[in-house]
Structure 1
Amino acid sequence: MSTLPVLIVVSVITLLFLYKLVRKHKGDSTNNFPNGSMGFLPVIGESLSFIKAQKANGGQEWVEERVAKYGHIFKTSLMGSPTVFITGRAGTKFVLGAETEVLAPRQPVTIAAIMGKHNLFEVAGTKRYKPLRRAMMSFLKPDILQGHIKRMDSMVKARIDKETKGKETITTISFMKKLTFHVACQILFGITDDPTEQALYEEFGHCFEAMWSAPFNFPGTTFRKGIQARKRIVKTMSPIMEKRKDQIKKGTLNPMNDVLSCILSLETEAAENGDQEEPITMNEVIDNFVALMIASHDSSAAVLTWIIWKLAKDREIYDNVVRDEKKQRKQQGGGETDGLTWGDVAKMKYTWRVVQEVMRVIPPFFGSFRTSIKDTSYGGYDIPKGWQVVNQTFIARLETI
């Protein structure tokens, strides 16, 4: 019998034992850490139970169990990082109101690996943040997006007709993900080629799964599949971006066509204006494309799914939304129109309130992630430099809304 497996097992057990001793020793120091469990295994910590809860839409219950046991501030280990959870309104005010020199917006290592280290969330507080944000906001300003309402209305109607034709039922969340991805590709990124859109949709599906997975880059793991999918996304988008960059330089493409072109135009603008600011790199463009695609379509799909769920459950709200829509139709003349405009949407006040209330009680994001840039404290507990800080405000349970 080979001794190699035995040596591996003994080595792992020894490392775990030493890890426990070191961690116990640290607990005897002068640091006043919150109560909680860092898990049994190094690096993994409580990641596996957290991931399992997230996939089962039980992230809130996972947090509530620990709050009941340890209090509104507790420690754990997630995605390879020691972590402090801070819950409640006061905690939200502390985390979101902290200076970036204290708590900087940083995503868990798995999310950061998929989005890329140059995405807007990761560069907050650095000199690269302002130019990247400026490029995005130049297209994402309300007056720019309002001009795309009619086009979005037409796209949504066409996609609904296509997906529901000949079908009695459809899976809402799956349909909403395809719908919002389609809108994001066309409106935000100017990707109008169907085969390219479909290929990207499949690859981003692997990326979404990898973001909430154990950070092990081994063959066959979910995380590895996500990393490989990201590489294929880069391979697909690189020639598209190079072509657009060339078109912008030649003046044959308007940078305001989409947010991707806005970001690509930064280098051209810097050269023309003799700007001393460091030009944007293709790595930065890629990372922010991936991050914005994830942020724009996945959360929107979740919100739309919960709105449909609420309308299906509450007949009174459904009837009021229909009445809101019919009232607007009547003001337009009662027949089919060329499509909704921003003015039409703004007048549907009851529908707006339904959307806002659903987002209030069922936020599309699990929580806010930060990294402690220097030693700090909250609620009488120490938060060491380098620790991950997660804020989550409890929300109403689905049965109560």
Structure 2
Amino acid sequence: MATSWNSLSSADGSYMTLITVLALTVLWLLWSVSSYFRCRNRLPVPPGNFGFPFIGQTVEHVLAMSTADGIRMWVQKQIEKHGPLFKFRFAGYPMVMLGDEEGNKFIFQNDGMSIHTFWPSKIATLFGPHSLLLQSGERHKLLRRHFSKMFDRAAVSRYIHGVNRNTIRHFTNHWQGKEQLAALDMTNLHTFSTICSLVLSLEEGPLMDKTLEALQTWLRGIFSLPINLPGFDYYAALKSRGLIFEVFDRLMEQRRQEIAEDRVPEASQTDFLNWMLTVPDEEGNMFQDSFIRDNLLLLLVAAFETTSATLAMTIFYIAKNPHVYEQILQEQKLISDEKCSSGKDENAMTMEDISAMKYTWKVIQEVLRLQPPVVGSYRKTATDLEYKGYLIPRGWLLNWNTQYTHYNPESFKDPLTFDPSRWETRPPPFTYLPFGGGIHSCPGNEFAKMSMLTFIHHLVRNFSWSLVDANYDGPFIRDPCSRPPDKVLISVKQITAS
């Protein structure tokens, strides 16, 4: 009986094993057939080369980024091989560059939906987790809407008097009596003192100098290798971030005490620090100190380096094109003469004056086209995307970049030529992106325009200049914005406004 029972159990076990094997075989066959048809119907990924595992084109891309011409030529080389849509590998990530205006449109119109903002971990660490730069989705919309109130046209109209006063003081203190200057050093000092005054009510002096030095060290870490060891730029940048935050903490403590005692100076009542300490967000919550620090840093960076570098390069291109200087001077003299004829202070500045500087703005626009302070940024796909017959898998990065569209002869005739007159007509959409685009475009572009035009107005009304190295035409260093090696060294002559 026992033998019969064991035999039956063995037979049942063999039967169950056979059923299991058959079932697994059927499932495998179904999966294989399904995979075959999925693979057969699957779109190809964009053309290009991933290069070495993990490293990919990281090293050559970083080296190209060290010069303005280098990154432009690197992009053009890839486009010549693969077209404006190509893949490469950067810092371990598969990345697709959508180089033309159609690619820019695709990214910006899908931004915040199937595409989200992305920054390499090194940059995210330098900016901090609470920075608006790193936010996406509803959180980004909420914060951007809140912050935009500080940079809309009404706010810029309030700031113009302070910017104008600071600009006049800058030329009086740092240009008068000088025969030779490094223009970039001057625009750095002017731009940083202006933004520190408006954001922190921090005036020129040892504390501002310390903060400027720390911020410039921080900036050198942006395009450095992420090596957190002594002697490397990234290590120094992280240390400088801590020094900058010490300054913020000191100013926050001082301001909180002034608020508690109801003795905040009138000039400080409208600065960004006071606003962040006293105005809750749209959900009624007060900002935490860690949030305030990260976004004060973002404000200083965004308003400082991009504006300063653009002004320095504007001084460079004006010096290279004397007829441009003459046209700017005539436009600015007309504005001053109209003030004098109506009995107004010719040194004052209004938004109407800014609107009248049409040719001067065309000059700056052309500088921004040739030497954009930011050449592009990254996004990350939240789902598989189809674009122009290619599959861009979920989790891949997208890179929009100005180095194709800004130099595309189909959009800009003779693209390497400095020609402000091209701005008599508007360029095609999504071809000109010095301030980015979509929901992550720069919210402070109106402020930047106002402050740059105010600076150029007082510069040409009081000084003429020439390049010490008049024959220099490039290449331009990018660290992270474009500049010649001598920081735009100029010979200066003060003139009498007439």
TM-score by length of 1: 0.82
Match of 1:228 in 2: 239
d(CA) in 1 for partners of 2:328, 2:89: 44
For residue 63 of structure 1, the aligned residue among 68, 71, 75 is: 75
Shift of 1:100: 0.7
Gaps of 5+ in 2: 1-38, 408-414, 420-498
Q: Check conservation: 2:278, 2:286, Cα contact below 8 A.
A: no
Match of 1:281 in 2: 288
Match of 2:451 in 1: none
Q: Deviations over 1:90-142 (max 9, x none)?
A: 01100111141211122333322211121112112143x34532442222121
Q: Check conservation: 1:217, 1:224, Cα contact below 8 A.
A: yes
For residue 386 of structure 2, the aligned residue among 354, 372, 377 is: 377
Match of 1:4 in 2: none
Map residues 337-376 of structure 1 onto 2, 5 A cutoff: 337-376=346-385
d(CA) in 1 for partners of 2:294, 2:124: 10
Q: Check conservation: 1:136, 1:259, Cα contact below 8 A.
A: no
Q: Check conservation: 2:43, 2:389, Cα contact below 8 A.
A: no
Q: Check conservation: 2:277, 2:286, Cα contact below 8 A.
A: no
For residue 310 of structure 1, the aligned residue among 294, 309, 317 is: 317
Map residues 24-173 of structure 1 onto 2, 5 A cutoff: 32-40=44-52, 42=54, 44-57=55-68, 58-127=70-139, 129-173=140-184
Query: Taking structure 1 as reference, are residues 45 and 221 closer, same or farther at Cα in structure 2, changes over 3 Å only?
Result: farther
Q: Check conservation: 1:47, 1:214, Cα contact below 8 A.
A: no
Shift of 1:205: 1.0
Match of 1:261 in 2: 274
Q: Deviations over 1:252-297 (max 9, x none)?
A: 437852123222223xx47xxxx86554221111111111211111
* Amino acid aligned to 1:98: N
Q: Check conservation: 1:136, 1:263, Cα contact below 8 A.
A: no
Match of 2:483 in 1: none
Shift of 1:246: 4.6
For residue 227 of structure 2, the aligned residue among 216, 219, 233 is: 216
Q: Deviations over 1:298-340 (max 9, x none)?
A: 1111221232222112222211110001111111117973422
Shift of 1:224: 1.6
Match of 1:392 in 2: 401
In our comparison, the structure showing a higher alpha carbon Rg is: 2
Q: Deviations over 1:9-60 (max 9, x none)?
A: xxxxxxxxxxxxxxxxxxx996732222334252x43222222222222221
Q: Percent identity?
A: 25
Q: Check conservation: 2:117, 2:134, Cα contact below 8 A.
A: yes
Q: Deviations over 1:194-235 (max 9, x none)?
A: 222111111111211111122232332221211121122112
Question: Matched residue of 1:140: which SS?
Answer: coil
Q: Deviations over 1:74-101 (max 9, x none)?
A: 2222244332111011011001111412
d(CA) in 2 for partners of 1:114, 1:232: 13
Q: Deviations over 1:352-383 (max 9, x none)?
A: 33223433454332013212222223222222
d(CA) in 2 for partners of 1:165, 1:400: 29
Q: Check conservation: 1:139, 1:258, Cα contact below 8 A.
A: no
Aligned residues: 366
d(CA) in 2 for partners of 1:261, 1:79: 39
d(CA) in 2 for partners of 1:195, 1:170: 21
Shift of 1:157: 2.8
More off after superposition, 275-284 vs 106-115: 275-284
Gaps of 5+ in 1: 1-27
d(CA) in 2 for partners of 1:391, 1:97: 13
* Amino acid aligned to 1:104: H
Q: Check conservation: 2:366, 2:418, Cα contact below 8 A.
A: no
Query: Taking structure 1 as reference, are residues 216 and 387 closer, same or farther at Cα in structure 2, changes over 3 Å only?
Result: farther
Query: Taking structure 1 as reference, are residues 244 and 78 closer, same or farther at Cα in structure 2, changes over 3 Å only?
Result: farther
Q: Check conservation: 1:132, 1:263, Cα contact below 8 A.
A: no
Q: Check conservation: 1:107, 1:369, Cα contact below 8 A.
A: yes
Q: Check conservation: 2:85, 2:97, Cα contact below 8 A.
A: yes
d(CA) in 1 for partners of 2:287, 2:305: 26
For residue 332 of structure 1, the aligned residue among 327, 332, 339 is: 339
For residue 207 of structure 2, the aligned residue among 196, 214, 218 is: 196
Query: Taking structure 1 as reference, are residues 358 and 140 closer, same or farther at Cα in structure 2, changes over 3 Å only?
Result: same
* Amino acid aligned to 1:110: K
Question: Matched residue of 2:180: which SS?
Answer: coil
Question: Matched residue of 2:355: which SS?
Answer: helix
Query: Taking structure 1 as reference, are residues 233 and 120 closer, same or farther at Cα in structure 2, changes over 3 Å only?
Result: same
d(CA) in 2 for partners of 1:222, 1:36: 31
Question: Matched residue of 2:203: which SS?
Answer: coil
Question: Matched residue of 1:257: which SS?
Answer: coil
* Amino acid aligned to 1:105: T
User: Considering only aligned residues, what root-mean-square deviation do their CA atoms show, in Å?
Assistant: 2.7
